[in-house]
Amino acid sequence: MNNDTLLEVRDLQTHFFTRTGVVKAVDGVSFDLNRGETLGIVGESGSGKSMTALSLMRLVPEPGGRTVGGSIMFDGEDLLLKGRDEMSDIRGRDICMILQDPMTSLNPVLSIGDQLIETFRPDGREAAKSLWDRGVELLRKVRIPAADIRMRAYPHQMSGGMRQRVVGAIAISRSPKLLIADEPTTSLDATIQLQYLRLLKDIQEQTGAAIIFITHDFGIVARMCDRVAVMYGGKIVEIADVSELFYNPKHPYTEALLGSVPDLEEDVDWLTSISGQPPQLDNMPPGCSFEPRCPYAFERCTEEYPREFTISDKHLASCWRLDDAGC
Amino acid sequence: MTTLAEEGAPSRGISALIEQTRELRVPWIPTTVIIVLVILAVFAPVLAPHDPKVGSLLDARTAPFQTWEYPLGTDFTGKDILSRLIYGARTSAFISMFALAAGVVVGTVLGLISGYAGKWVDTIIMRIADATMGFPSILLAMIIVAIVGQGLLPIILAVAVSTWPRIARMIRGEVLSVKDQDYVTLSKIAGVSPSVIIWRHVFPNVLNTLMVITSLSVAGVILTEASLSFLGLGLPPGDPAWGIMVAEGRQSLVRMWWISLFPGLIITIVVMAFNFFGDWLRDTLDPKLRRVR
Amino acid sequence: MTRYITRKVAEAIVTLLGLSLVVFSAVHLTGDPVRMLLPVRIDAPPEVYDQLKAELGLDRPFMIQYLNFMRNLLTKGDFGRSVRSQKEARHLLMERIPATIQLAAAGLFLSFVIGVPAGILSAVKRDSLADKIGKAVAIFGLAAPQFWVAIMAVILFGAYLQWLPVYGAGGFTNLILPASVLALGPLAAMMRLGRSSMLDILDSEFIKFARVKGLRESIVIWKHGARNAVIPLMTFAGLTLAALMNGSIVVEQVFAWPGLGRMMIEGVIQRDMPLVQATVLVSGFFYVTTALIVDIMYGFADPRIRDTN
């Protein structure tokens, strides 16, 4: 791990233990992230992208869910070895996250100021006056007008866009080194979406945080990210720089998502949907999980999961077609 | 939660599904209890080994589990506890049925009117319902008994009064969600009279809710009836009612504990059975009512 | 907030006035109070009857009688006289009220202060042994009739084990059994509601976000979770209060607790209408006032309520 690397995830495995069997929500995910870099994670719902994020935060929903293997080296330390309180200290300070629905991320019965300031005092001790000023400062940073009045307001007294800004302010309040954003814009209309993305960019420039951006929207990836990982069936099937992935996708699933694949067999609108269902994660076929929906599938695909092929220095993909290509 | 459910980790989703399929199965213990209760009530004269009101003084104060003649013992005057319990089922079922029927009819009618008419009619009916619901039912019953006097009718009336508001509230809520449906609007435009619309279109749609809320009310009805009987506000002393029997045991709690123990136990079991059964019916017929109660 | 409180107080006053009118008319319907005052000499001459009637103001129209009654009640605290004992109902009430308040307060304390946190903990430690025990207690508490539990408690703790006094009011030990029995039903309801409410809250995004922020788990649960979980419970506070009052009538009867509940039953059975009227009005007053306090607390707990006027 060189000095630029902030996060090094290796073979991360998060499983859910249900009465019908084990669901491998995250099944051997590995990637690196540099300081200040923005990585997009793209996939359908159910691909394991949000669960990867929650695994990084060590907030996999219990009971039932558990990270059972792998390592998460963050700033040289393995987060999976941290105790409960140690992890609490890391959250908010070093890693923070903006959840899928920022509108409902604020507690309805606590004032904005309270929710902002308590982040500085995660052990619940009474906040000092200086913290109040820091809170006002933060609200200004995310361009909330009349910040000192807003500190006393409650979430229901604010507009949706304003609430999102507050959530943003809370997330960056302690200048985390890593910010995870889990589809923070899906519930927004287009203009507010743009504003919010710009805000996140601003935040990144000001704090130098690395960002993991979880989305299913390649438009956002193109706008926001340096690199992008495509997830399918709990695994990363392809990872590359954004332009490389856009112009030279190697995995058929990526092709399908980008809508660049020619229609081979049926008349399917690849731009909007991919035929077939996402895989049942508790009932995985032995071969490639994308095989049942893949237009190129051949015999080997049903037998064995493809290993990772290196296309170029920073471009990796898992597909047996690449074996013939001599990667 | 949606995040997690979608996100390849349907742990809650799957277990909830299993739970539901399991819940779909009829809960056989509560159902059996209810069926037995009905049989006892209907066939009490055949099933009861002794007269519930007349005892043989020679056999007075027999402890339970001593003789086959009186398996659950006898009271001070030699009346058979088992027979009294069986007749008590009849009393309880009788009062509960009439009180429930009255409460359900009044509650449904007022709920339908309130929901359909809206405006001030709705406000008035719901205000009264809230006031009645919030007001302690025994206090209400006492006012009624004070006016009408003791007996079967006042106790039925008292229990019914404490039952209708909740039913009216639920039905009203259902009506509100049904009444803006297209077919109701169309009927209105077509000039169909309100009573016909309510009867033909609205009422059938609230039937599920009605069944659920009725079954959930049974337990409360039985408990209220028993409490009133216990306080001596219901049937005259000596009559076979579970509440009265518990009260009778108070004369000699220590030496004749069984007089109070058995009827109370039966009430508890029956109420539990109706609670479980009602929960099951609600989960099966009308899952969106999950929060009611 | 002031507007919210004003509205709630106004509602409470209207409810109390409505109650007084209903009770007053009810008492009127029950028969001729003059005849009741002349129980021994049923063949009292008509002059005596008329004189007494005029003396009591019973010859005047109903509404005037009601207004007179209310004026006496509000200015002098005069509830009229008990028919049986001929004592002023006011004095009889004063003898009973402290015991009733003591019992009700203890029951309220137990059901809310123990029931709600127990339900919340049950949700936090879902499926643990404690949760299962809690569930069993709730199922039993909701099904077992209070009067029976009371009697069983008397037999077990009073007669056999002889741990606690079971008769009458007095010291703290006298309070333990009646208060526990009284609280059982409401406590079970609060546990159950608290549990399901907290489970809903624990699933919400703001709890997840509170954890993401790095707050300690205890703060996530008690500051962020419990506060929200309690709000829906407050809408059930009225029903809980009603259950407590129902219960206290029964419990007072079993434990020979010298409270209003027993006086009320005695009044009903002896058809002592002025006494019944007085006890019902006072119980209603306590009930409405407590409900009012709960409503106001509700407004403080949930900022959204304050703003919806």
**3-state SS of chain C?**
CHHHHHHHHHHHHHHHHHHHHHHHHHHHHCCCHHHHHCCCCCCCCHHHHHHHHHHCCCCCCHHHHHHHHHHHHHHHCCCCECCCCCCEHHHHHHHHHHHHHHHHHHHHHHHHHHHHHHHHHHHHCCCCHHHHHHHHHHHHHHHCCHHHHHHHHHHHHHHHCCCCCCCCCCCHHHHHHHHHHHHHHHHHHHHHHHHHHHHHHHCCHHHHHHHHCCCCHHHHHHHHHHHHHHHHHHCCHHHHHHHHHHHHHHHHHHCCCCCHHHHHHHHHHCCCHHHHHHHHHHHHHHHHHHHHHHHHHHHHHCHHHHHCC
Most A CBs within 10 Å: which of B1, B3, B6, B20, as the mutation test of the A interface?
Answer: B3
- Minimum Cα–Cα distance from A23: chain B residue: B9
Cβ separation C303–A122 shorter than 8 A:
no
Which residues partner with A91 through β-bridges?
A95
Region A172-199: mean pLDDT is 80
Q: Where are the beta strands (DSSP E) in chain C?
A: none
Nearest to C151 among B223, B260, B275 (CB): B260
Judge contact between A215 and A184, C-beta under 8 A. Answer: no
Angstrom distance (rounded) from CA A57 to CA A51: 10
Name every residue whose Cβ is closer than 8 Å to that of residue A180 and which is 6 or more positions away in sequence: A53, A56, A57, A95, A96, A97, A98, A211, A212, A214
Quick: pLDDT tens for B16-32. 666 665 656 677 888 88
Nearest to B137 among C139, C160, C246 (CB): C246
Region B75-91: mean pLDDT is 81
Cβ separation C145–B254 shorter than 8 A:
no
What residues in A contact C127, CB-CB < 8 Å?
63
- Does residue A234 belong to the interface with chain B, where contact is any CB pair within 8 Å? yes
Please tell me what DSSP assigns to residue C237: H
- Chain A nearest C-alpha distance from C124 (Å): 11
For position A300, what pLDDT does the model report? Answer: 82
- Minimum Cα–Cα distance from A116: chain C residue: C213
Distance of CA B220 to the CA centre of its chain: 5
Highest mean pLDDT among B92-101, C16-25, C292-301: B92-101
Cβ separation C205–A63 shorter than 8 A:
no
Q: Which of residues 169-228 of B touch A (CB under 8 A)?
A: none
Quick: pLDDT tens for C128-186. 888 889 888 888 988 899 889 988 888 888 777 878 777 777 777 788 889 999 999 88
Q: Which run of H or E residues covers position A182?
A: strand A178-182
pTM of the model: 0.77
Quick: pLDDT tens for B273-289. 998 888 888 777 765 55
Name every residue whose Cβ is closer than 8 Å to that of residue C154 and which is 6 or more positions away in sequence: B253, C166, C177, C254, C255
Nearest to A51 among B8, B14, B18 (CB): B8
What residues in A contact B3, CB-CB < 8 Å?
50, 99-101, 182
Chains that touch C (3 or more CB pairs under 8 A): A, B
What residues in C contact A177, CB-CB < 8 Å?
none
Angstrom distance (rounded) from CA C104 to CA C98: 10
Three-class secondary structure assignment of A226-280: CEEEEEECCEEEEEEEHHHHHHCCCCHHHHHHHCCCCCCCCCCCCCCCCCCCCCC
Cβ separation B253–C287 shorter than 8 A:
no
Quick: pLDDT tens for B25-71. 677 888 888 888 888 888 878 877 777 777 776 776 777 777 777 77
pLDDT at A183 over 80: no
Most B CBs within 10 Å: which of A41, A42, A45, as the mutation test of the B interface?
Answer: A45
Quick: pLDDT tens for B198-240. 888 788 878 888 888 888 888 888 988 888 888 888 788 778 8
- Minimum Cα–Cα distance from C154: chain B residue: B253
For position B4, what pLDDT does the model report? Answer: 37
Cβ separation B260–C155 shorter than 8 A:
yes
User: Inter-axis angle of helices B258-285 and B203-230, to 10 degrees?
Assistant: 170
What residues in C contact A90, CB-CB < 8 Å?
214
Judge contact between A124 and C220, C-beta under 8 A. Answer: no
Cβ separation A59–C224 shorter than 8 A:
no
Q: CB-hemisphere CA count at 13 Å for B144?
A: 21
Cβ separation A85–C215 shorter than 8 A:
no
Region A25-34: mean pLDDT is 89
What residues in B contact C155, CB-CB < 8 Å?
253-254, 257, 260
pLDDT at B102 over 70: yes
| Listed residue (C298, C285, C299) closest to C19, CA to CA | C285
Cβ separation C206–A84 shorter than 8 A:
no
Question: Which range, of A105-114, A226-235, B128-137, C104-113, averages the lowest pLDDT?
Answer: B128-137
- Chain B nearest C-alpha distance from A21 (Å): 10
Nearest to C216 among A104, A124, A170 (CB): A124
For position A25, what pLDDT does the model report? Answer: 87
Cβ separation B136–C249 shorter than 8 A:
yes
Angstrom distance (rounded) from CA C69 to CA C55: 14
pLDDT at B12 over 60: no
Mean of all residue pLDDT scores within chain C: 82
Report residue C191 as tokens.
């546990």
- Chain A nearest C-alpha distance from C297 (Å): 13
- Chain B nearest C-alpha distance from A57 (Å): 14
- Minimum Cα–Cα distance from A172: chain C residue: C213
Angstrom distance (rounded) from CA C52 to CA C67: 20
Most C CBs within 10 Å: which of B126, B147, B277, as the mutation test of the C interface?
Answer: B147
Cβ separation A88–C215 shorter than 8 A:
yes
Angstrom distance (rounded) from CA B1 to CA A190: 25
Mean of all residue pLDDT scores within chain A: 81
- Chain C nearest C-alpha distance from B192 (Å): 37
Could you please report the per-residue DSSP string of A187-222?
Answer: TS-HHHHHHHHHHHHHHHHHH--EEEEEES-HHHHH
Report residue A25 as tokens.
């929500």
For position B5, what pLDDT does the model report? Answer: 37
Report residue A237 as tokens.
């099937």
Rounded to whole angstroms, what are the CA distances from B175 to A305, B89, B179, B195?
A: 56, 35, 6, 13
User: Inter-axis angle of helices C237-254 and B203-230, to 10 degrees?
Assistant: 20
Angstrom distance (rounded) from CA A108 to CA A114: 11
Cβ separation A106–C206 shorter than 8 A:
yes
Question: SS3 for C232?
Answer: helix
Cβ separation C216–A170 shorter than 8 A:
no
Region C192-208: mean pLDDT is 89
Q: Where are the beta strands (DSSP E) in chain B?
A: none
Pairs across A and C, CB distance < 8 A: 94
Judge contact between B5 and A59, C-beta under 8 A. Answer: no
For position A267, what pLDDT does the model report? Answer: 41
Most B CBs within 10 Å: which of C7, C21, C137, C148, as the mutation test of the B interface?
Answer: C148
- Does residue B42 belong to the interface with chain A, where contact is any CB pair within 8 Å? no
pLDDT at B15 over 80: no
What residues in B contact A64, CB-CB < 8 Å?
9, 11-12, 15
- Does residue A16 belong to the interface with chain B, where contact is any CB pair within 8 Å? yes
Q: Which of residues 3-32 of B touch A (CB under 8 A)?
A: 3-4, 6-12, 14-15, 18
Provide the residue type at A234 as one letter.
G
Cβ separation B147–C151 shorter than 8 A:
no
Question: SS3 for A310?
Answer: strand
- Does residue B102 belong to the interface with chain C, where contact is any CB pair within 8 Å? no
- Chain A nearest C-alpha distance from C208 (Å): 8
Report residue A302 as tokens.
């049903």
pLDDT at C42 over 60: no
Distance of CA C151 to the CA centre of its chain: 21
Q: In percent, how much of chain C has pLDDT > 70?
A: 93
As for the ipTM of the complex, it is 0.84
